[in-house]
Chain A
Amino acid sequence: MNFAHGGLFTVGAYAGWLAYTQYDSFALGIVAAIVVTFVLGVVIERILIRQYYARPKEDQILVTFGLGIVLVETVRAIFTAQNKLVPTPPWAEGSVQIADLVYPQYRLDVVGIVIVTLAVVWLIVFKTRLGLIVRAGIDDSLIVEMLGIDIGRAFMLVFALGAAVAGLAGFVDSPILALTPDVGTAVLVQSFVVIVIGGVGSFGGAIVGGIVAGEIISLTSVFAPDWAQVALYLAMALVLIVRPQGLLGVVGRA
């Protein structure tokens, strides 16, 4: 997770939108969002981020924050600040009735896409050699390098993978949100809150945090709409006081 992910979310959304509307294929939009942000992730890591691994954490935060600005402003310069309408793909129009609830079909499909993406990321992180190297490298990069493993390449691939997931999220989300260059920033902050509630470094925590955050916003919207957003952040403060590592977090992973 880094502060450039808001910008990558935006870039993914616009790349996907462009491919989708040009060639009238939602699948192509997904491919474009993933490929563009993955390649961008590789380039950013090679040119900039790798110089920062040995520098203070605060510098890494600053440079990714700055990159976020550059990405969002580049998108604004190319596509203007005007809202883009991203149509729901035809196969996902309409709504489904589940018991008493009427639910838009597309949102259910998004849930499916999210589950597949989570599964793929989980497999990469926990079941492949790449994931093993990166997890070992976070614990002790010196030992990993002494074993003759090119840890720089592994970090690059994981950075790019993170970028691609952010890009995919941006595109998949765009038929639900109005697409503007600033979509990423709002989502970035909410994702931080989700991580704080769920727990840093915990895969399940992110999912649980997301569900809890969604419930808080929806339920408060019904009873006290003015307080919906505020309630989310108050819940975050409460989690911090009662359980600083987050609901499913592990102590020492922050």
Chain B
Amino acid sequence: MILGPVGDRTGWKVEGATALFLVLFPALLALFGVGTDLGTRILILGLFGIGVDLIFGYTGLLSFGQAAFYGTGGFITANLLIHHNVPNALGALAIGTLGAALAGALVGSLALRQVGIYFAMLTLAFGQLFYFLENSPLRAYTGSENGLPGVPKAIFTAGPWTLDFSSSLGMYVFVAMIYFGGFFIARRIVRSPFGAVLRAIRENPERALAVGHRVPRYKLVAFTIAAAYGGLAGGLLGIFQGYMPPEAFTIDQSGEIIVMTVIGGPGTLIGPLVGAGVWTLLRQGLQNIDVIAGIWKLILGIVFVLLITGFRRGLVGAAIALAGRLRPAR
């Protein structure tokens, strides 16, 4: 149990620390000469990763098809905004998230019939199904290999008032608020009785079933929630870039979000954000060094293999373990 069971003693400290971090993050990045946009990108991936963490870190379901939902939410949101079907970004994001959740329920109801490596294979295959759907039959709505350019920025108007998030910092604030909302809800979920059952399924599915929990139902709900997080993050990606890229649907995207979650620390909710930060900043940093510019992914791959072998709970898990050891015993 990494963040403790229902009713743990962390209270609101984790939420408070996260809010504080979100406020300071752009300044921290600026100290190292990194632009705010990279921070926004990291938050979007961190939000995507919260969903992955809910199913993998908490429920023990390893899905290699999460890009399907990232892309679905992204393209629904982008389409709605480009064609002005909904008045503003929040409405489009809500519908995109719902669409991704529906896709998640559909894929989950099939893939969850299997467990372990077989489940992982199925999610990977369904991820490819969505990729090929985007790529060919649905190209009128997705732009195929070109993606969808011209996604409007997040600007809200009500009567004479206008709230404009189109600047770089504005976009960061918009994404940070949504990230915090998503993080807050996820914390509620994992600390609820529902979350306790998810952990029980991770630790011992047979026993969870034996004490009377409807394990398949719980798994499906968790999978659907994870898809919703993916969809929301995908929608934000399109708005942030002003362009919805087809790469959102690729196997590489599914794999990268798993790698980020595992590097950061599964079962911590904040881990994916840390992993996304490490991945994104290392990639940026390594690409600036001539000798190793071409092998940044090789280096991250080796780090990943070493981390799973040595620190199963990722960077955040290791930090929590270290903090626990430093605290004097009562």
Q: Please give the distance in Å from B32's CB to the nearest CB on chain A.
A: 26
Q: Please give the distance in Å from B304's CB to the nearest CB on chain A.
A: 5
Q: With an 8 A cutoff between CB atoms, is B305 at the interface?
A: yes
Q: Which of B118-137 contact A (CB under 8 A)?
A: 118, 120-122, 124-126, 128-129, 132-133, 135-137
Q: Determine whether the beta carbon of B302 is less than 8 Å from that of A70.
A: yes
* Chain A: CB-nearest residue to B255: A65
Q: With an 8 A cutoff between CB atoms, is A200 at the interface?
A: yes
* B255 CB contacts on chain A under 8 angstroms: 65, 69
* B295 CB contacts on chain A under 8 angstroms: 73, 77
Q: Determine whether the beta carbon of A70 is less than 8 Å from that of B60.
A: no
Which of B251, B262, B295, B298 gathers most chain A CB within 10 Å? B298
Q: With an 8 A cutoff between CB atoms, is B316 at the interface?
A: no
Q: Please give the distance in Å from A215's CB to the nearest CB on chain B.
A: 18
- Please judge, given known A-B contacts A58-B60, A59-B308, A70-B302, whether A226 and B124 are in contact too, CB under 8 Å: no
Q: Determine whether the beta carbon of B125 is less than 8 Å from that of A193.
A: yes
Q: Determine whether the beta carbon of B129 is less than 8 Å from that of A234.
A: yes
CA distance A60 to B255 in the complex (A): 15
* A61 CB contacts on chain B under 8 angstroms: 62, 116-117, 120
Q: Determine whether the beta carbon of B301 is less than 8 Å from that of A69.
A: yes
Q: Please give the distance in Å from B268's CB to the nearest CB on chain A.
A: 16
Q: Determine whether the beta carbon of A189 is less than 8 Å from that of B251.
A: yes
Query: How would you classify the secondary structure of chain B's contact residues: helix, strand, loop or mixed?
Result: helix
* Chain B: CB-nearest residue to A69: B301
Q: Please give the distance in Å from A249's CB to the nearest CB on chain B.
A: 10
Q: Determine whether the beta carbon of A227 is less than 8 Å from that of B136.
A: yes
Q: With an 8 A cutoff between CB atoms, is A104 at the interface?
A: no
CA distance A62 to B313 in the complex (A): 13
* Chain A: CB-nearest residue to B136: A226
Q: A43-70, CB under 8 A of B: which get 1 and which 0? A: 0000010010000111111110111011
* Chain B: CB-nearest residue to A48: B309
Among B5-13, B107-115, B282-290, B317-325, the stretch that binds chain A is B107-115
* Chain A: CB-nearest residue to B305: A66
27 examples of A-B residue contacts, CB within 8 angstroms: A2-B117, A3-B120, A48-B305, A56-B60, A58-B56, A58-B60, A58-B62, A61-B117, A61-B120, A62-B62, A62-B258, A63-B308, A63-B309, A66-B304, A74-B298, A77-B295, A185-B251, A193-B125, A225-B136, A229-B132, A229-B136, A230-B132, A230-B136, A237-B110, A240-B110, A240-B122, A254-B116
Known: A62-B262, A73-B297. 12 other contacts (CB 8 A): A69-B297, A73-B295, A77-B294, A189-B125, A226-B136, A226-B137, A229-B128, A229-B135, A233-B125, A241-B110, A244-B114, A254-B118
